[in-house]
Amino acid sequence: MDRDIQPTIYAERIAEHFSIHGYFERIYGSELSGERSDKTELLAHLLDREGLDPSEAWMIGDRRHDMIGGSANGTHTAGALWGYGSARELVDAGAEILIDGLGALSNHLAQPPSMRSARISPTAELP
């Protein structure tokens, strides 16, 4: 079980509290019963429910469970360096890229897929 997955009802309240709920069409989380409390399972549910092609989707997260869940579901993975996980943790868990802010992510995604690096290897900069 991933300890960082909030039940949907709480995730929605958190998004409202920080005034970011308007940036999302839907907010997904686990059920109060504990269903979908595993990141891989939750992401599979989201991709299915939204009818998304995993090869065109991105899992952006700050912990290893995010990278593992994205990779297991066939999405691209981006490690967010402003969160709780270290760069080493994210790379070791399979992050395709590391991003240090939303601007960097936006710039990366704005490029046509053929122009994006297949893999940005940040390991040379890691301790």
The answer to whether the beta carbons of residues 75 and 46 sit under 8 Å apart is no
Asked if 104 contacts 81 with a C-beta cutoff of 8 angstroms, the reply is no
> In Å, what is the CA distance from 51 to each residue of 29, 48, 56, 67, 71?
17, 5, 11, 21, 18
Which tens digits make up the pLDDT trace of 23-75? 889 999 999 998 999 999 999 999 999 999 999 999 999 999 999 999 999 99
Average pLDDT on 4-19 reads 91
Residue 106 φ/ψ region, left for φ over 0, alpha for ψ in the -120 to 50 degree band, beta for the rest: alpha
Q: What is the pLDDT of residue 3?
A: 56
Q: What confidence score (pLDDT) does residue 113 get? A: 74
All structural domains of the chain: 54-125 (3.40.50.1000)
The pTM of the full predicted model, rounded to 2 decimals, is 0.81
The average pLDDT across 68-94 equals: 94
Residue 37 near residue 57, CB atoms below 8 Å: no
Residue 108: its pLDDT value, please? 80
pLDDT value at residue 115: 67
State the chain's mean pLDDT as an integer: 87
What is the pLDDT confidence band of residue 5, given thresholds at 50, 70 and 90?
confident
